Amino acid sequence: MKTAELNKELYSSPVGNAEEINELLRRYGVKFGIYKNGIFKEQLFPFDPIPRIITHDDFTDMEKGLVQRVDALNKFLFDIYHDKNIIKDGVIPENFVYISSGYLPQCEGITPPNNIYSHISGIDLVQSKDGDWYILEDNLRIPSGASYPLIARELTRVASPAAFSSNSIVDNRNYAKLLKDTMDYSNCGGINAILTPGRYNAAYFEHSYLAELTNSVLVQNDELFVEDNVLYHKTYTGGKTKVGALYRRISDDYLDPLTFEPQSLIGIPNLMEAYRSGNVAIINAPGNGVADDKGIYYFVPKMIEYYLGEKPVLKNAPTYLPFYEEDKEYVLKNLDRLVIKDVAEAGGYGVIFGSELSDEKLENMRQTIINEPRRFIAQEVIDFLDLPILDDGRQVMRKADLRAFVLSGEQTKVWASGLTRFSRNPDSFVVNSSQGGGFKDTWVLSR
Amino acid sequence: MKKLYFHFSTKLTFDNYVHDHSFALRCIPPETPSQHILSCELNISPFVSAMQTVDSFGNNVTSSYLKKEHRYLDFEITGCAEIDCIAQKTDFMPCYSYQSKYTKPDSALTEWYSEISSGCTADDPFERIKFFSDCLSEVMTYEKNSTDTATTAAEAFAIKKGVCQDFTHVMLSVLRMDGIPCRYIAGLASCDGETHSWLEIWTGEYWKGYDPTNNCDISDDYLVLSQGRDFGDCAVDRGVMFGAYTKQLQLIESCLSESSFY
Amino acid sequence: MGTISIEHGDRLFWLGRYAERVFSTLKALEDLYDNSIDSRPKCYTDFLAKFGLADTYGSAKIFFDSFIFDKENVNSVAASLERAYDNGIVLREEISTEALSFLQLAFDTLEKAQKSAKGLRLSLLPLEDILFGFWGCVSEYVYDYEIRTIIFCGKSVERLDLELRFKSDFGKVQHEFERLCRHLRNVPKNSPYRYNTGQLCRLVEILGSEEDYLKLSDKAITSLGKLFEAEKIPVGVNV
């Protein structure tokens, strides 16, 4: 059965009481730190009690497509930092790779443990009205969000056990085990540690919760040091404990002030030397941003064919690269109904809907695209399948996407759940949590 | 071909104790077709254990962690190399074709480039670099202390002053706009007592050096210490330390000679 | 796990102290409140005196409001709870989400109590249960012995400090001191929570007899404050 054919009633039934569950989420500290006018505030990430439901059949297809996609992306990353055959063979134009801000020449020739670059991949998908799933973007740097549906499930099972006994729902609480296995598989000997920029980071709850569940040590940079190219955790008795896998939740630029941004105050000096020497796994590997670049996205279906010799199972949203003359012409002509994305921006920023622009702004945009064709991609607006949400007790339909989590350890596995984010604003297509949206649990049916 | 003895030392002094000092040195000259290292000894004081790796650009990296309190860090290299600047190096990387952090031009530099490039009729990349370098010598003057290690090509070009690092960055920026892949070289040249920097351009088959500061070809009197897209990849020493210091002073001494120092 | 950084050690210690301060302050204020009902409405001034504070409150109601609910008053239950939470939030993986949730609950309960139409003590009753729940979680979920030791060292130091300040019965003080010594014995060498031998000896002397305790409790407070000061190693030995 396809998700689009689901029984309407099941599809729109709230599980438990929204207020109760939000109250529980608050109690367990599921908060989201934000800065408003320079002041740090903790906000709840609003939970909607109507779950997104994915049928067993849909998930099986999706799983195949996601495993294939992430395997190809990992092979691409290995290739780019070694032989670069995909460029030599003319599948991807050279400058798409080397202009990308995610490409780091400092990682050339480094082979991460087991050749895995993207251990935790967050792949954003949307479902169209005709039921097809489209890939919206790949997030391979430090995708966040798995902890929210994870703890929400724990709490909805408490609040509404009946919903789970009467439906066959795959238990998603294995995420911690998947994550721990992934860390253990790449671990170079030593403890697993999660590196956080600190309590004032928006995703701090997630960092600390995942540390608790995977029995990892939660660390900040000043608790670590590199000596003789080995990464250590400094203990309070003056000793040191070797770190074998570092699940870092800070971006590449800040990772090692002696290799990258020298002004970084949250990095670990000489971490790259420890990594290069094979003494520690960095999860996810530095430099993998080159594969989730919005410009590279266009080439992922080609990558799947190139590296795996397979047809892509999941579709990309129809995308145009103004870099190609033919595409540029199309984009300039149809700008008023396309979505334009600035390849350098993330988190829902730099996304422009042509339909919302005045004639004057459209013209400006056209000029910008002509001047900097490599900076943008353009996509057809997908007619999303809206999901029901409760707004003040009333059911309304809103845009939503799905971030699926794919973990690459001994095998590549898709977590049978995901983060469904929705936009509170009826007219908005942007669902990012940093832009004020909420989230739902994502159910995968077991039959 | 020439046999050169080299000596290079830096003394870093702090006005107060520092500790947990991590550093990475790129000062051991790499073995390449154009320089055969006959001997090289590195001394670091205070004594500390150090590890050697080779980074992605082919540089020898010495990394270390000095945990205990100290007020100075000295390191020196002494050795001997056979230099043959005509021998061809072929270690190309595609990133050398693209602008990097220090070389990214602003509009003034871009305009200047289009101005001078329209007057350049040569096709051969090496002829073009000589032409561009002549143009640069006319507009930019060498002046010590006018810039620092964080100065970008665009910033140096704006004030039309700088040292070897700035001349090299501006030229790299121009060459990359011109579609000529090129890289930054940090090293020792003649006996001027400091480190020098110059560039190499990719001819399509091998690297060829040029010194934009002195506006001349390089010779067997140039010893390469490190190479990369720009200064950021090549810094001879980089470090992070903790402590209540407010000032640090670095004294550098270098010497290249055809006869042994001893 | 089994690896604790200096920062986390520090957080654990202060989590123990502040969580205990919340509880002890609450208990002390409840007794005081009980006293103020009929026998001595102004008895809260004794409490202020122990902190060296003058009565700027004027009435028992304003005093209790401030010392229980006002986060701006550094000696209040609310302020201590906020600090306990601030330390706890960065220790989730050590103390468990469950334990941390009790601190959040305590906050919510305190807020509700302030708005409650019920009597002060009645509305604060659940807060005590919640704090017991917190300590229950720490006992139940913190398997790492060193982590437990640090938290309980903090807890005991705080309790003893308050008992000394309030000049509690000698028996109570002795009990708490014995408890502290038990925890101290479990602290590994080179740990910042390794006791300073000199200061511990002074405490043993002062708390050895009721007579000394009554005379020298101020000195005991000082020694307790310096209990974790680094040991001064004599440079030369005089023969």
Residues paired with residue A31 on neighbouring β-strands, in sequence order: A44
The residue length of chain B stands at: 262
Question: What CATH number is attached to the domain comprising B54?
Answer: 2.60.40.2250
Using a CB-CB distance cutoff of 8 angstroms, which residues of chain B are in contact with residue A276? 53, 55
Whole-number pLDDT of residue A433: 55
**pLDDT tier at A84, thresholds 50, 70, 90:** very high
Query: A273 vs A343, which has greater pLDDT?
Result: A273
CB A121 within 8 A of CB A405: yes
Q: Which of helix, strand or coil describes residue A387?
A: strand
**B2-25 and B35-45 beta bridge pairing:** unpaired
Domain that holds residue B10: 2-85+236-257
B25 plus B57 within the same structural domain: yes
Whole-number pLDDT of residue C227: 93
C125 touches chain A (CB under 8 A): no
Residues with Cβ within 8 Å of B229's Cβ and at least 6 positions away in sequence, in order, are: A105, B57, B95, B96, B100, B101, B102, B103, B183, B184
Neighbours of chain C (3+ CB pairs under 8 A): A
B99 plus B229 within the same structural domain: yes
Question: Out of A28-32, A113-117, B104-108, which region has the weakest mean confidence (pLDDT)?
Answer: A28-32
Whether residue C238 has pLDDT greater than 50? no
B144 plus B191 within the same structural domain: yes
Q: What percent of chain B has pLDDT over 70?
A: 98
Whole-number pLDDT of residue A11: 72
Spatial CA neighbour of A26 closest among C88, C101, C128: C101
What are B192-217's pLDDT values in tens digits?
678 899 999 999 999 999 999 999 99
B108 plus B211 within the same structural domain: yes
Whether residue A168 has pLDDT greater than 80? yes
Q: How many CB atoms lie within 10 A of CB A357?
A: 16
CA–CA min distance A227, chain B (Å): 6
A83 touches chain B (CB under 8 A): no
Taking the C-alpha atoms of residue C100 and residue A30, their distance in angstroms, rounded to an integer, is 11
Q: By a Cβ cutoff of 8 Å, what residues of chain B touch chain A? A: 20, 22-24, 49, 51, 53, 55-57, 61, 63, 65, 67, 93-95, 97-98, 229, 232-233, 238-240
CB C6 within 8 A of CB A220: no
B183 plus B247 within the same structural domain: no
A226 touches chain B (CB under 8 A): yes
Residues paired with residue A316 on neighbouring β-strands, in sequence order: A135
Sign (positive or negative) of CA dihedral B134, B140, B141, B145: negative
Whether residue C239 has pLDDT greater than 50? no
Taking the C-alpha atoms of residue B204 and residue A93, their distance in angstroms, rounded to an integer, is 18
Whole-number pLDDT of residue A375: 86
What are A93-152's pLDDT values in tens digits?
998 899 888 999 999 999 999 999 999 999 999 998 888 999 999 999 999 999 999 999
Residue B155 lies in a domain: yes
Taking the C-alpha atoms of residue A446 and residue A444, their distance in angstroms, rounded to an integer, is 6
Provide mean pLDDT across the span C105-129: 91
**pLDDT tier at C236, thresholds 50, 70, 90:** low
Q: By a Cβ cutoff of 8 Å, what residues of chain A touch chain C? A: 26-29, 191, 199, 204, 208-209, 211-212, 215-220, 222-223, 233-239, 241
C239 touches chain A (CB under 8 A): no
A270 touches chain B (CB under 8 A): yes
CA–CA min distance A275, chain B (Å): 11
CB-based burial, B30-57: b 16+ in 10 Å, e otherwise? bebebbebeebebebeeebebbebebbb
B124 plus B192 within the same structural domain: yes
Enumerate the domain spans of chain C: 6-225
CA–CA min distance A110, chain B (Å): 8
Taking the C-alpha atoms of residue B125 and residue B205, their distance in angstroms, rounded to an integer, is 12
A142 touches chain B (CB under 8 A): no
Provide mean pLDDT across the span A386-414: 93
**pLDDT tier at A351, thresholds 50, 70, 90:** confident
Whether residue C237 has pLDDT greater than 60? no
B101 plus B195 within the same structural domain: yes
- What is the count of structural domains for chain B? 2
**pLDDT tier at A36, thresholds 50, 70, 90:** confident
Alpha carbon A112 to its chain's center: 20
Q: Do A212 and C191 touch (CB under 8 A)?
A: no
Sign (positive or negative) of CA dihedral B156, B157, B163, B164: positive
B116 plus B195 within the same structural domain: yes
Neighbours of chain B (3+ CB pairs under 8 A): A
Whether residue A83 has pLDDT greater than 50? yes
Q: Do A208 and C104 touch (CB under 8 A)?
A: no
A103 touches chain B (CB under 8 A): yes
B117 plus B212 within the same structural domain: yes
Question: Out of A347-356, A392-401, C187-196, which region has the weakest mean confidence (pLDDT)?
Answer: A347-356
> With touching defined as 3+ CB pairs under 8 A, do chains C and B touch?
no
B145 plus B161 within the same structural domain: yes
Whether residue A4 has pLDDT greater than 70? no
Using a CB-CB distance cutoff of 8 angstroms, which residues of chain A are in contact with residue C142? none
C105 touches chain A (CB under 8 A): yes
The residue of chain B nearest to residue A106, with distances taken between CA atoms, is B56
Whole-number pLDDT of residue A346: 62
Using a CB-CB distance cutoff of 8 angstroms, which residues of chain C are in contact with residue A208? 89-90, 92-93
* Domains of chain A and any CATH numbers: 3-310+383-444 (no CATH), 318-380 (3.30.1490.270)
What are C91-110's pLDDT values in tens digits?
999 999 999 999 999 999 99
What are A190-227's pLDDT values in tens digits?
999 999 999 888 899 999 999 999 999 999 999 999 99
A to C CB pairs, distance under 8 Å: 72
Nearest to A236 among C6, C97, C105 (CB): C6
**pLDDT tier at B261, thresholds 50, 70, 90:** low
Mean pLDDT of chain A: 91
CA–CA min distance B103, chain A (Å): 14
Whether residue A442 has pLDDT greater than 80? yes
The residue of chain B nearest to residue A263, with distances taken between CA atoms, is B240
Whole-number pLDDT of residue A435: 59
A344 touches chain B (CB under 8 A): no
Provide mean pLDDT across the span A84-101: 93
Residue B196 lies in a domain: yes
B36 plus B115 within the same structural domain: no
Question: What CATH number is attached to the domain comprising B151?
Answer: 3.10.620.30
What are A47-69's pLDDT values in tens digits?
999 999 999 999 999 999 999 99
Taking the C-alpha atoms of residue A154 and residue A28, their distance in angstroms, rounded to an integer, is 11
B118 plus B203 within the same structural domain: yes
Interface test with A, best of B18, B63, B66, B237 (most A CBs within 10 A): B63
Provide mean pLDDT across the span B48-72: 96
Task: Output the six-digit token pair for A227.
Answer: 């000596």
Question: Out of A84-93, B50-59, B243-252, C146-155, which region has the weakest mean confidence (pLDDT)?
Answer: B243-252
Whether residue C234 has pLDDT greater than 70? no
Residue B262 lies in a domain: no
Taking the C-alpha atoms of residue C81 and residue C95, their distance in angstroms, rounded to an integer, is 16
Whether residue A434 has pLDDT greater than 60? no
